[in-house]
Structure 1
Amino acid sequence: MIDIVTDLRPLLGTARDQGARPTCLAFAASDAHAALRDGWCPLSCEYIFFHAHKRTGTPPNRGASLAAMLDTLRLDGQPAESDWPYLDAVPFDLSQWVPPIDVGQCFGRHGTNGSNLIPPIQATLDSGKPVLLLTMLSHSFYTPGIEGVIDPANDEKPDPALRHAIVAVGHGTVGGQTAILVRNSWGASWGAYGHAWLTEKFLTPRLFGTAILTEDIDVSSRAAAA
Protein backbone atom coordinates (compact mmCIF):
# COMPACT_ATOMS: atom_id res chain seq x y z
CA MET A 1 0.00 0.00 0.00
CA ILE A 2 1.29 3.46 -0.94
CA ASP A 3 0.54 6.39 1.35
CA ILE A 4 1.43 9.68 -0.36
CA VAL A 5 2.58 12.64 1.73
CA THR A 6 3.81 15.00 -1.02
CA ASP A 7 3.36 14.64 -4.79
CA LEU A 8 4.76 17.25 -7.21
CA ARG A 9 3.80 15.39 -10.38
CA PRO A 10 1.08 17.95 -11.22
CA LEU A 11 3.90 20.48 -11.80
CA LEU A 12 5.32 18.39 -14.65
CA GLY A 13 4.12 17.06 -17.97
CA THR A 14 4.57 13.62 -19.51
CA ALA A 15 7.86 11.90 -18.69
CA ARG A 16 10.38 12.22 -21.51
CA ASP A 17 12.78 9.68 -23.02
CA GLN A 18 16.54 10.26 -23.31
CA GLY A 19 17.00 7.28 -25.63
CA ALA A 20 20.52 5.82 -25.87
CA ARG A 21 22.38 9.07 -25.12
CA PRO A 22 24.10 9.80 -21.73
CA THR A 23 21.82 12.76 -21.03
CA CYS A 24 20.00 11.70 -17.86
CA LEU A 25 21.33 14.65 -15.84
CA ALA A 26 20.33 17.11 -18.56
CA PHE A 27 16.80 15.71 -18.48
CA ALA A 28 16.65 15.71 -14.68
CA ALA A 29 17.91 19.29 -14.43
CA SER A 30 15.64 20.50 -17.24
CA ASP A 31 12.52 18.96 -15.72
CA ALA A 32 13.33 20.17 -12.21
CA HIS A 33 13.90 23.65 -13.66
CA ALA A 34 10.69 23.63 -15.68
CA ALA A 35 8.69 22.46 -12.66
CA LEU A 36 9.69 25.62 -10.78
CA ARG A 37 8.33 27.90 -13.51
CA ASP A 38 4.70 28.97 -13.90
CA GLY A 39 2.88 26.54 -16.17
CA TRP A 40 4.46 23.48 -17.74
CA CYS A 41 6.78 24.30 -20.64
CA PRO A 42 9.53 21.71 -21.26
CA LEU A 43 13.02 23.23 -21.43
CA SER A 44 15.74 22.28 -23.91
CA CYS A 45 17.80 19.31 -22.73
CA GLU A 46 19.94 19.61 -25.85
CA TYR A 47 20.90 23.18 -25.05
CA ILE A 48 21.92 22.54 -21.47
CA PHE A 49 23.78 19.34 -22.37
CA PHE A 50 25.66 21.14 -25.15
CA HIS A 51 26.73 24.04 -22.94
CA ALA A 52 27.71 21.78 -20.02
CA HIS A 53 30.07 19.88 -22.34
CA LYS A 54 31.33 23.05 -23.97
CA ARG A 55 32.19 24.34 -20.50
CA THR A 56 34.25 21.28 -19.54
CA GLY A 57 35.57 20.25 -22.97
CA THR A 58 34.36 16.66 -22.56
CA PRO A 59 33.00 14.68 -25.53
CA PRO A 60 29.22 14.33 -25.91
CA ASN A 61 29.37 10.54 -25.60
CA ARG A 62 29.99 11.01 -21.87
CA GLY A 63 27.57 12.25 -19.24
CA ALA A 64 27.89 15.78 -17.90
CA SER A 65 29.00 16.48 -14.34
CA LEU A 66 26.65 17.96 -11.77
CA ALA A 67 28.97 20.95 -11.26
CA ALA A 68 28.99 21.71 -15.00
CA MET A 69 25.22 21.37 -15.18
CA LEU A 70 24.64 23.76 -12.28
CA ASP A 71 27.12 26.25 -13.75
CA THR A 72 25.35 26.07 -17.10
CA LEU A 73 21.96 26.73 -15.55
CA ARG A 74 23.39 29.70 -13.67
CA LEU A 75 25.48 31.22 -16.49
CA ASP A 76 23.79 30.18 -19.74
CA GLY A 77 20.28 29.15 -18.77
CA GLN A 78 18.17 27.23 -21.25
CA PRO A 79 15.38 28.01 -23.72
CA ALA A 80 12.15 26.16 -24.35
CA GLU A 81 12.44 22.65 -25.75
CA SER A 82 10.87 23.84 -29.01
CA ASP A 83 13.81 26.22 -29.59
CA TRP A 84 16.30 23.35 -29.81
CA PRO A 85 14.49 19.99 -29.75
CA TYR A 86 16.28 16.95 -28.41
CA LEU A 87 18.32 14.98 -30.95
CA ASP A 88 18.25 11.21 -31.28
CA ALA A 89 22.03 11.35 -31.79
CA VAL A 90 24.77 13.97 -31.88
CA PRO A 91 25.98 14.63 -35.47
CA PHE A 92 29.15 12.72 -36.44
CA ASP A 93 30.64 16.07 -37.44
CA LEU A 94 30.65 17.91 -34.12
CA SER A 95 31.00 21.25 -35.90
CA GLN A 96 27.34 20.73 -36.83
CA TRP A 97 26.32 20.32 -33.19
CA VAL A 98 25.52 23.94 -32.34
CA PRO A 99 22.43 25.74 -31.04
CA PRO A 100 20.14 27.33 -33.63
CA ILE A 101 21.00 30.97 -34.30
CA ASP A 102 17.39 31.98 -33.58
CA VAL A 103 17.15 30.31 -30.17
CA GLY A 104 14.71 32.21 -27.98
CA GLN A 105 14.83 33.55 -24.45
CA CYS A 106 16.99 31.58 -22.04
CA PHE A 107 15.93 31.08 -18.43
CA GLY A 108 18.61 30.83 -15.75
CA ARG A 109 18.44 29.32 -12.30
CA HIS A 110 20.68 29.08 -9.26
CA GLY A 111 21.37 25.64 -7.81
CA THR A 112 23.24 24.13 -4.93
CA ASN A 113 24.38 20.73 -3.76
CA GLY A 114 22.03 19.17 -1.24
CA SER A 115 22.02 16.50 1.43
CA ASN A 116 22.18 12.76 0.70
CA LEU A 117 19.95 12.04 3.68
CA ILE A 118 16.26 11.22 3.29
CA PRO A 119 14.77 13.74 5.81
CA PRO A 120 16.26 16.85 4.12
CA ILE A 121 15.08 15.53 0.75
CA GLN A 122 11.59 15.13 2.18
CA ALA A 123 11.69 18.65 3.61
CA THR A 124 12.70 20.13 0.25
CA LEU A 125 9.88 18.25 -1.48
CA ASP A 126 7.44 19.50 1.16
CA SER A 127 8.52 23.06 0.27
CA GLY A 128 7.41 22.46 -3.33
CA LYS A 129 10.83 21.95 -4.91
CA PRO A 130 11.97 18.82 -6.78
CA VAL A 131 15.39 17.38 -5.90
CA LEU A 132 18.00 16.11 -8.35
CA LEU A 133 19.27 12.67 -7.29
CA LEU A 134 22.48 10.99 -8.44
CA THR A 135 22.23 7.27 -7.85
CA MET A 136 23.87 3.95 -8.50
CA LEU A 137 21.58 1.37 -10.07
CA SER A 138 20.92 -2.32 -9.65
CA HIS A 139 18.59 -4.93 -11.11
CA SER A 140 15.32 -3.88 -9.49
CA PHE A 141 15.50 -0.35 -10.96
CA TYR A 142 14.98 -1.80 -14.44
CA THR A 143 11.85 -3.72 -13.46
CA PRO A 144 9.61 -1.59 -11.22
CA GLY A 145 6.91 -3.61 -9.50
CA ILE A 146 3.20 -3.02 -9.17
CA GLU A 147 2.39 0.71 -8.95
CA GLY A 148 6.01 1.47 -9.81
CA VAL A 149 7.49 0.30 -6.51
CA ILE A 150 11.24 -0.49 -6.46
CA ASP A 151 12.30 -2.42 -3.36
CA PRO A 152 15.46 -4.52 -3.73
CA ALA A 153 16.06 -8.03 -2.45
CA ASN A 154 18.22 -8.26 0.65
CA ASP A 155 21.20 -9.54 -1.35
CA GLU A 156 20.91 -6.98 -4.19
CA LYS A 157 23.92 -4.67 -4.28
CA PRO A 158 24.37 -1.31 -6.07
CA ASP A 159 26.64 -1.31 -9.09
CA PRO A 160 29.11 1.62 -8.91
CA ALA A 161 29.56 1.40 -12.70
CA LEU A 162 25.86 2.11 -13.31
CA ARG A 163 25.19 5.73 -12.44
CA HIS A 164 22.03 7.63 -13.24
CA ALA A 165 20.32 10.96 -12.54
CA ILE A 166 16.63 11.20 -11.70
CA VAL A 167 14.32 13.74 -10.05
CA ALA A 168 12.63 13.29 -6.68
CA VAL A 169 9.07 14.61 -7.02
CA GLY A 170 7.35 13.28 -3.93
CA HIS A 171 7.53 11.10 -0.86
CA GLY A 172 5.42 8.85 1.30
CA THR A 173 5.47 5.27 2.52
CA VAL A 174 5.25 1.92 0.78
CA GLY A 175 4.11 -0.89 3.04
CA GLY A 176 5.12 1.25 5.99
CA GLN A 177 8.62 1.91 4.62
CA THR A 178 9.72 5.45 3.72
CA ALA A 179 9.84 5.92 -0.05
CA ILE A 180 10.76 8.69 -2.49
CA LEU A 181 8.75 9.19 -5.67
CA VAL A 182 11.07 9.79 -8.64
CA ARG A 183 10.67 10.86 -12.25
CA ASN A 184 12.90 9.04 -14.74
CA SER A 185 13.89 9.90 -18.33
CA TRP A 186 13.16 6.52 -19.93
CA GLY A 187 9.73 7.40 -21.25
CA ALA A 188 6.21 6.90 -19.92
CA SER A 189 6.36 3.09 -20.31
CA TRP A 190 8.84 2.78 -17.41
CA GLY A 191 7.29 2.32 -13.99
CA ALA A 192 4.06 4.21 -13.37
CA TYR A 193 3.96 6.50 -16.41
CA GLY A 194 7.67 7.28 -16.10
CA HIS A 195 7.70 7.47 -12.29
CA ALA A 196 8.50 5.05 -9.49
CA TRP A 197 8.65 4.78 -5.72
CA LEU A 198 12.16 4.06 -4.45
CA THR A 199 12.09 2.57 -0.97
CA GLU A 200 14.57 3.80 1.59
CA LYS A 201 16.13 0.34 1.42
CA PHE A 202 16.88 0.94 -2.27
CA LEU A 203 17.82 4.60 -2.20
CA THR A 204 19.97 5.05 0.91
CA PRO A 205 22.92 2.82 -0.13
CA ARG A 206 22.78 3.99 -3.76
CA LEU A 207 22.47 7.77 -3.42
CA PHE A 208 25.76 9.62 -3.89
CA GLY A 209 24.72 13.18 -4.73
CA THR A 210 21.79 15.61 -4.74
CA ALA A 211 21.11 19.15 -5.86
CA ILE A 212 18.35 21.69 -5.39
CA LEU A 213 17.45 24.45 -7.83
CA THR A 214 16.59 27.73 -6.16
CA GLU A 215 15.86 31.25 -7.44
CA ASP A 216 15.67 32.18 -11.10
CA ILE A 217 18.30 34.39 -12.78
CA ASP A 218 18.15 36.80 -15.70
CA VAL A 219 20.84 35.52 -18.08
CA SER A 220 19.80 37.75 -21.01
CA SER A 221 22.47 40.41 -20.40
CA ARG A 222 25.22 37.78 -20.37
CA ALA A 223 23.87 36.17 -23.55
CA ALA A 224 23.74 39.55 -25.29
CA ALA A 225 27.34 40.29 -24.30
CA ALA A 226 28.51 36.92 -25.64
Structure 2
Amino acid sequence: MATIEIEVDLRERFGPARDQGARPTCLAFATSDNHAGLRAGWQPLSCEYLYFHAQRRAGRAAEQGALLPAMLEALSGDGQPMEAGWPYLEAPPPEAAAWKPPAEVGPCFGRAGVAANSAVASVRSTLSLGHPIVILSMLSPSFFEPIDGVVTPAPGEQPELSQRHAVVAVGHGRVDGEPATLIRNSWGAGWGLDGHAWLTDTFLAPRIFATATLMEEVNVPSRSVAA
Protein backbone atom coordinates (compact mmCIF):
# COMPACT_ATOMS: atom_id res chain seq x y z
CA MET A 1 0.00 0.00 0.00
CA ALA A 2 1.24 3.47 -0.89
CA THR A 3 2.38 5.91 1.79
CA ILE A 4 0.34 9.10 1.53
CA GLU A 5 1.46 12.36 3.13
CA ILE A 6 -1.34 14.93 3.16
CA GLU A 7 -0.37 18.60 2.96
CA VAL A 8 -3.73 20.20 2.06
CA ASP A 9 -7.14 18.50 2.30
CA LEU A 10 -10.36 20.43 1.61
CA ARG A 11 -12.71 17.42 1.56
CA GLU A 12 -14.52 18.58 4.69
CA ARG A 13 -16.11 21.40 2.68
CA PHE A 14 -17.98 18.89 0.54
CA GLY A 15 -20.69 16.31 1.06
CA PRO A 16 -20.80 12.79 -0.40
CA ALA A 17 -19.43 12.37 -3.91
CA ARG A 18 -22.09 12.64 -6.58
CA ASP A 19 -22.65 10.48 -9.66
CA GLN A 20 -23.12 11.88 -13.17
CA GLY A 21 -24.18 8.51 -14.55
CA ALA A 22 -23.75 7.97 -18.28
CA ARG A 23 -24.24 11.60 -19.32
CA PRO A 24 -21.36 13.88 -20.48
CA THR A 25 -21.87 16.28 -17.58
CA CYS A 26 -18.55 16.04 -15.73
CA LEU A 27 -17.72 19.72 -16.18
CA ALA A 28 -21.11 20.78 -14.83
CA PHE A 29 -20.61 18.54 -11.79
CA ALA A 30 -17.06 19.76 -11.17
CA THR A 31 -18.05 23.42 -11.49
CA SER A 32 -21.21 22.97 -9.44
CA ASP A 33 -19.48 21.11 -6.62
CA ASN A 34 -16.64 23.64 -6.56
CA HIS A 35 -19.26 26.41 -6.32
CA ALA A 36 -21.13 24.63 -3.52
CA GLY A 37 -17.87 23.96 -1.68
CA LEU A 38 -17.16 27.68 -1.54
CA ARG A 39 -20.51 28.45 0.09
CA ALA A 40 -21.23 28.19 3.80
CA GLY A 41 -22.45 24.68 4.64
CA TRP A 42 -22.68 21.90 2.08
CA GLN A 43 -25.83 22.11 -0.02
CA PRO A 44 -25.63 20.68 -3.54
CA LEU A 45 -26.53 23.06 -6.34
CA SER A 46 -28.38 22.13 -9.52
CA CYS A 47 -25.96 20.64 -12.06
CA GLU A 48 -28.85 20.25 -14.48
CA TYR A 49 -29.58 23.97 -14.47
CA LEU A 50 -25.94 24.95 -14.92
CA TYR A 51 -25.42 22.41 -17.69
CA PHE A 52 -28.58 23.52 -19.48
CA HIS A 53 -27.53 27.16 -19.53
CA ALA A 54 -23.96 26.36 -20.56
CA GLN A 55 -25.26 24.33 -23.50
CA ARG A 56 -27.75 27.03 -24.43
CA ARG A 57 -25.02 29.65 -24.47
CA ALA A 58 -22.74 27.47 -26.59
CA GLY A 59 -25.48 26.25 -28.93
CA ARG A 60 -24.83 22.64 -27.96
CA ALA A 61 -27.24 19.77 -27.38
CA ALA A 62 -27.99 17.92 -24.16
CA GLU A 63 -26.00 14.91 -25.41
CA GLN A 64 -22.78 16.87 -25.97
CA GLY A 65 -20.05 17.67 -23.50
CA ALA A 66 -19.87 21.24 -22.24
CA LEU A 67 -17.23 23.86 -23.04
CA LEU A 68 -15.37 25.61 -20.23
CA PRO A 69 -15.95 29.23 -21.43
CA ALA A 70 -19.71 28.61 -21.71
CA MET A 71 -19.77 26.93 -18.30
CA LEU A 72 -18.12 29.92 -16.63
CA GLU A 73 -20.42 32.32 -18.49
CA ALA A 74 -23.46 30.37 -17.32
CA LEU A 75 -22.23 30.31 -13.73
CA SER A 76 -21.82 34.09 -13.62
CA GLY A 77 -24.70 35.03 -15.91
CA ASP A 78 -27.38 32.48 -15.03
CA GLY A 79 -26.21 31.05 -11.72
CA GLN A 80 -27.65 27.95 -10.08
CA PRO A 81 -30.55 27.17 -7.78
CA MET A 82 -30.34 24.50 -5.12
CA GLU A 83 -30.46 20.91 -6.38
CA ALA A 84 -34.16 20.67 -5.47
CA GLY A 85 -34.92 23.51 -7.90
CA TRP A 86 -34.15 21.24 -10.85
CA PRO A 87 -32.91 17.80 -9.77
CA TYR A 88 -30.40 16.00 -11.95
CA LEU A 89 -31.91 13.84 -14.69
CA GLU A 90 -30.70 10.33 -15.47
CA ALA A 91 -31.23 11.24 -19.13
CA PRO A 92 -32.60 14.29 -20.97
CA PRO A 93 -36.12 14.04 -22.45
CA PRO A 94 -36.34 12.46 -25.94
CA GLU A 95 -37.74 15.70 -27.34
CA ALA A 96 -35.08 18.44 -27.27
CA ALA A 97 -37.68 21.15 -26.68
CA ALA A 98 -38.82 19.41 -23.50
CA TRP A 99 -35.40 19.85 -21.88
CA LYS A 100 -35.84 23.10 -19.99
CA PRO A 101 -35.92 24.25 -16.36
CA PRO A 102 -39.13 24.19 -14.35
CA ALA A 103 -41.06 27.46 -14.27
CA GLU A 104 -39.97 28.01 -10.67
CA VAL A 105 -36.54 26.91 -9.51
CA GLY A 106 -36.04 29.19 -6.53
CA PRO A 107 -33.24 31.72 -5.98
CA CYS A 108 -30.20 31.38 -8.20
CA PHE A 109 -26.64 31.96 -7.02
CA GLY A 110 -23.92 33.18 -9.34
CA ARG A 111 -20.15 33.22 -9.06
CA ALA A 112 -17.36 34.62 -11.19
CA GLY A 113 -14.80 32.25 -12.58
CA VAL A 114 -11.70 32.45 -14.75
CA ALA A 115 -9.65 29.98 -16.73
CA ALA A 116 -6.34 29.61 -14.92
CA ASN A 117 -2.80 28.31 -15.37
CA SER A 118 -2.88 24.57 -16.08
CA ALA A 119 0.52 23.81 -14.57
CA VAL A 120 0.30 21.33 -11.71
CA ALA A 121 2.42 23.62 -9.52
CA SER A 122 -0.16 26.38 -10.02
CA VAL A 123 -2.95 24.01 -8.99
CA ARG A 124 -1.10 23.24 -5.77
CA SER A 125 -0.57 26.94 -5.10
CA THR A 126 -4.30 27.58 -5.44
CA LEU A 127 -5.11 24.68 -3.13
CA SER A 128 -2.61 25.97 -0.57
CA LEU A 129 -4.64 29.19 -0.44
CA GLY A 130 -7.67 27.12 0.58
CA HIS A 131 -9.41 27.23 -2.80
CA PRO A 132 -10.58 24.09 -4.63
CA ILE A 133 -10.05 24.29 -8.38
CA VAL A 134 -11.65 22.70 -11.44
CA ILE A 135 -9.19 20.74 -13.55
CA LEU A 136 -9.71 19.26 -17.00
CA SER A 137 -7.46 16.44 -18.11
CA MET A 138 -7.08 13.64 -20.55
CA LEU A 139 -7.52 10.14 -19.16
CA SER A 140 -5.94 6.72 -19.64
CA PRO A 141 -6.74 3.24 -18.27
CA SER A 142 -5.25 3.71 -14.79
CA PHE A 143 -7.76 6.45 -13.95
CA PHE A 144 -10.71 4.09 -14.15
CA GLU A 145 -9.53 1.79 -11.36
CA PRO A 146 -7.48 3.59 -8.69
CA ILE A 147 -5.31 1.26 -6.61
CA ASP A 148 -5.76 1.98 -2.89
CA GLY A 149 -7.04 5.41 -3.87
CA VAL A 150 -4.03 6.26 -6.05
CA VAL A 151 -3.87 6.83 -9.80
CA THR A 152 -0.46 6.51 -11.41
CA PRO A 153 0.15 5.34 -14.98
CA ALA A 154 1.47 1.91 -15.86
CA PRO A 155 4.81 1.86 -17.70
CA GLY A 156 4.30 3.13 -21.23
CA GLU A 157 0.73 4.30 -20.58
CA GLN A 158 -0.02 7.39 -22.64
CA PRO A 159 -2.75 10.07 -22.40
CA GLU A 160 -5.75 9.32 -24.60
CA LEU A 161 -6.71 12.48 -26.49
CA SER A 162 -10.31 11.37 -26.97
CA GLN A 163 -10.84 10.65 -23.24
CA ARG A 164 -11.36 13.98 -21.46
CA HIS A 165 -12.78 14.58 -18.02
CA ALA A 166 -13.32 17.33 -15.44
CA VAL A 167 -12.91 16.96 -11.67
CA VAL A 168 -12.36 19.18 -8.64
CA ALA A 169 -8.91 19.32 -7.07
CA VAL A 170 -9.42 19.38 -3.29
CA GLY A 171 -5.98 18.74 -1.85
CA HIS A 172 -2.35 17.89 -2.41
CA GLY A 173 0.43 15.93 -0.81
CA ARG A 174 2.81 13.12 -1.64
CA VAL A 175 2.38 9.47 -2.60
CA ASP A 176 5.50 7.44 -1.82
CA GLY A 177 7.41 10.71 -1.92
CA GLU A 178 6.03 11.89 -5.28
CA PRO A 179 3.88 15.05 -5.41
CA ALA A 180 0.21 14.21 -5.96
CA THR A 181 -3.11 16.00 -6.24
CA LEU A 182 -6.27 14.85 -4.45
CA ILE A 183 -9.35 15.06 -6.66
CA ARG A 184 -13.10 14.72 -6.17
CA ASN A 185 -14.72 12.82 -9.03
CA SER A 186 -18.36 12.61 -10.12
CA TRP A 187 -18.61 8.82 -10.52
CA GLY A 188 -20.17 8.11 -7.14
CA ALA A 189 -18.72 6.93 -3.83
CA GLY A 190 -17.70 3.55 -5.28
CA TRP A 191 -14.81 5.08 -7.23
CA GLY A 192 -11.49 5.45 -5.43
CA LEU A 193 -11.69 6.56 -1.80
CA ASP A 194 -15.37 7.44 -1.40
CA GLY A 195 -15.28 9.19 -4.76
CA HIS A 196 -11.80 10.70 -4.37
CA ALA A 197 -8.30 9.69 -5.47
CA TRP A 198 -4.72 10.89 -5.49
CA LEU A 199 -3.32 11.62 -8.96
CA THR A 200 0.46 11.45 -9.00
CA ASP A 201 2.33 14.09 -10.95
CA THR A 202 3.46 11.32 -13.29
CA PHE A 203 -0.18 10.86 -14.23
CA LEU A 204 -1.53 14.41 -14.03
CA ALA A 205 1.25 16.60 -15.42
CA PRO A 206 1.16 15.25 -19.02
CA ARG A 207 -2.64 15.06 -19.07
CA ILE A 208 -3.95 18.30 -17.56
CA PHE A 209 -4.94 20.82 -20.25
CA ALA A 210 -7.11 23.43 -18.50
CA THR A 211 -8.18 24.66 -15.07
CA ALA A 212 -10.73 27.12 -13.73
CA THR A 213 -10.72 29.08 -10.49
CA LEU A 214 -14.02 30.27 -9.05
CA MET A 215 -13.96 33.65 -7.40
CA GLU A 216 -16.42 36.09 -5.81
CA GLU A 217 -20.18 35.71 -5.68
CA VAL A 218 -22.10 37.75 -8.26
CA ASN A 219 -25.74 38.77 -8.49
CA VAL A 220 -27.69 36.91 -11.13
CA PRO A 221 -30.00 39.07 -13.26
CA SER A 222 -33.63 38.27 -12.55
CA ARG A 223 -34.27 37.62 -16.26
CA SER A 224 -32.04 34.56 -16.14
CA VAL A 225 -34.09 32.78 -13.51
CA ALA A 226 -36.70 31.89 -16.12
CA ALA A 227 -35.51 29.61 -18.88
Indicate whether the TM-score tops 0.5.
yes
Q: Which moved more, 1:6-15 or 1:109-118?
A: 109-118
CA contact (8 A) 1:132 1:211 kept: yes
Q: Residues of 2 paired with 1:192 and 1:137: CA distance?
A: 18
**Which residue pairs with 1:151 in the alignment?**
152
Question: Alpha-carbon deviation of 1:154?
Answer: 2.4
Q: Residues of 2 paired with 1:94 and 1:139: CA distance?
A: 33
Q: Residues of 2 paired with 1:181 and 1:102: CA distance?
A: 37
**Which residue pairs with 2:169 in the alignment?**
168
**Which residue pairs with 2:212 in the alignment?**
211
Where structure 1 has 5 or more consecutive residues not aligned to the other structure, the ranges are none
Q: Residues of 2 paired with 1:190 and 1:224: CA distance?
A: 34
Alignment of 1:89-168 (within 5 A): 89-146=91-148, 148-168=149-169
CA contact (8 A) 2:104 2:226 kept: no
CA contact (8 A) 1:105 1:220 kept: no
Where structure 2 has 5 or more consecutive residues not aligned to the other structure, the ranges are none
Identify the match of residue 20 of structure 2 among 15, 18, 21: 18
CA contact (8 A) 1:116 1:207 kept: yes
Q: Residues of 2 paired with 1:97 and 1:86: CA distance?
A: 12
Query: Would you identify which runs of 4 or more consecutive aligned residues in structure 1 move more than 4 Å?
Result: none
Matched, 1:78 2:80: yes
TM-score normalised by structure 2 residue count: 0.96
TM-score normalised by structure 1 residue count: 0.97
Question: Alpha-carbon deviation of 1:123?
Answer: 1.3
Aligned residue pairs: how many? 225
Question: Alpha-carbon deviation of 1:220?
Answer: 4.2
Q: Residues of 2 paired with 1:224 and 1:152: CA distance?
A: 44
Aligned CA RMSD, in angstroms, stands at 1.2
Aligned amino acid, residue 35 of structure 1? G
**Which residue pairs with 1:7 in the alignment?**
9
Give percent identity, aligned residues only.
Answer: 56
**Which residue pairs with 1:69 in the alignment?**
71
